[in-house]
Amino acid sequence: MQVSAYLKLSVAVAVTTIVLKAGAWWLTGSVSLLSDALEALVNLAGATFALMMVVVAAQPADDDHPFGHHKAEYFSSGFEGALILVAALAIVWAAVRRFWAPQPLESLGWGLALSVISSALNAALAWAMLRKAREHRSIALEADARHLFTDVWTSAGVVVGLLAVMTTGWLWLDPVVAIAVALNIVREGLSLLRRSIDGLMDRALEPQVLERIDQVLADFGHHVLRFDHLATRRAGARRFIELHMHLPGDWSLTRAAALRSDVEQALMSAVPGLRANIQLLPTDVETHGRDERDLP
């Protein structure tokens, strides 16, 4: 199943959980179940926007975007993080009002049952989506999966809190649980925003990926060949690397280009989704651009 198919499934599950959680809130009048329903609305909006951005990211390069559209996925992650923060504010507002004016809860058994069913759907989908996200290095799919996992833990906290209300009769526990839910999803929202900003700022590749790259270059290294000025970045599912390869000046262009092709192929085989750009230079020549790393 492709990334877009998982996101379409996420939209369908989000609609289902909205119905279930809204029903749970309507039956019980619980503000903590209302907070759970509000997060389900965020799930729907996030999954819909993520699907749009994945479609955009898959478009080929064009004259206006010669390096492709891969970074579109970061907008999805940032948008979903912002939605989570807005939902958290709405939950806190409703919880504070209920804290000062407690109301009796009704039909908690049915409400809890609907909440548990919706959580089970979200958990199964989130687990499958996270595996697919790691396989395809899709931050949009990963963001949606992690948001669903947050929703699962949110629902679990709500269920525990409402069971405590049923046991103790303390109605103030309901808004307190809702506020705790809000604080938890704020943490996840901030994490998604940070990752989105990192991606848009051309963050370097992960340390474990850099180790694989270093190993490939070491396999090609010998006394007449050296590499320097290595720079890497991430753009959605794509990874990019630029470096200089120094060769003896008396080599023919054909021989040098053939070796460069071998190095590029080895790098792209070792790191899925990698695009390598290698500049050929004679051994005794150094180049310096306007990069601060090259300044004394």
User: What is the pLDDT, as a whole number, of residue 258?
Assistant: 92
Summarised one tens digit per residue, pLDDT across range 38-93 is 767 777 777 777 777 777 877 877 777 777 777 777 777 777 778 778 777 777 77
Please give the pLDDT value at position 254. Answer: 92
Domain boundaries, the chain: 3-200, 207-294
For the chain, the average pLDDT equals 77
**In CATH, which of 1.20.1510.10, 3.50.20.10, 1.10.1370.30, 2.102.10.10 is domain 3-200?**
1.20.1510.10
Q: What is the pLDDT of residues 108-164, one digit of tens each?
A: 677 778 778 887 887 888 888 788 777 766 766 777 777 777 777 777 777 777 777
Model confidence at 296: pLDDT above 50: no
38, 61, 109, 118, 157 from 45: Cα distances, Å: 11, 27, 29, 17, 23
Nearest to 16 by CA among 140, 120, 118: 118
Helices in the chain by DSSP H: which ranges? 3-28, 31-57, 72-100, 108-136, 139-168, 173-200, 207-220, 253-270
Domain at 207-294, CATH from 3.30.70.1350, 1.10.10.10, 3.40.50.150, 3.30.360.10: 3.30.70.1350
Q: Which range, 28-37, 67-76, 247-256, 281-290, is most confident?
A: 247-256
Contact indicator for 41, 71 with CB cutoff of 8 Å: no
